[in-house]
């Protein structure tokens, strides 16, 4: 259970932050950047939900589950395996969370017509916000992959799979809320030459 009695602690005034293990890292550390960008993805999804709530209930319910998963992902990244024992069982992204995301991608995608061009972000406010969330999720993925390639840093395979599938989900969801693809804005190569 999380208890937040005080919002500021002053412990970060020196430019460091604490991991779940108690270890202090610079606020620009790659691990901190990765879970910070996961948090930014979550916030972008929260904004997208302002446009999906009521209008796209199926997608909105999926996004709410994803927001909870993203807190799990942040906790996973904040408590690196193999380091100092945190004194509790760390929360990790698991395969069933990846599987559920894939099932939801397939469910939404089954109602979409095949693409014949790339899609420009837009069409509807909900779709535009989902595209912003998608691009932030891709940045989180790039940071997580870079972290996983850094010596002595470990990122769990389910976590990497989850963030990869997340951007796929957000793309499919953006098309779904765009009247199931009918209102997609398609790229026309070289149109303005």
User: Please, what is the average pLDDT of the chain?
Assistant: 93
Per-residue pLDDT tens over the stretch 81-136: 877 777 889 999 999 999 999 999 999 999 999 988 999 999 999 999 999 999 99
Quick check: 59 pLDDT over 80?
yes
Look up the pTM and report it.
Answer: 0.92
List all residues 6 or more positions away from 70 whose beta carbon is below 8 Å from its beta carbon. Answer: 38, 39, 41, 42, 45
Per-residue pLDDT tens over the stretch 130-171: 999 999 999 999 999 999 999 999 999 999 999 999 999 999
Question: CA dihedral in degrees (133, 134, 137, 138; nearest 10)?
Answer: -150
Q: Which domains does the chain have, with CATH numbers?
A: 28-81+89-182 (1.20.1200.10)
State the Cα–Cα distance between residues 40 and 141, nearest whole angstrom.
Answer: 12
């Amino acid at each position: 259970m999380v208890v937040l009695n005080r919002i500021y602690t002053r412990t970060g005034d020196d430019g460091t932050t604490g991991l779940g293990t108690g270890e202090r890292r610079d606020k620009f550390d790659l691990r901190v950047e990765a879970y910070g960008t996961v948090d930014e993805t979550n916030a972008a999804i929260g904004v997208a939900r302002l446009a999906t709530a009521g209008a796209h209930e199926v997608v909105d319910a999926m996004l709410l589950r994803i927001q909870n998963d993203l807190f799990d992902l942040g906790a996973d990244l904040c408590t690196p395996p193999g380091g100092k024992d945190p004194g509790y069982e760390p929360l990790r992204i698991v395969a069933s969370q990846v599987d559920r995301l894939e099932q939801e991608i397939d469910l939404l995608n089954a109602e979409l017509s095949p693409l014949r061009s790339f899609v420009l972000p837009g069409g509807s406010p909900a779709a535009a916000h989902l595209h912003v969330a998608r691009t932030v999720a891709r940045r989180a993925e790039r940071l997580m992959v870079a972290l996983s390639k850094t010596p002595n840093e470990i990122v769990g395979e389910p976590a990497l799979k989850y963030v990869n599938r997340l951007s796929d989900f957000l793309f499919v969801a953006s098309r779904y809320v765009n009247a199931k693809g009918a209102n997609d804005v398609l790229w026309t190569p070289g149109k303005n030459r």
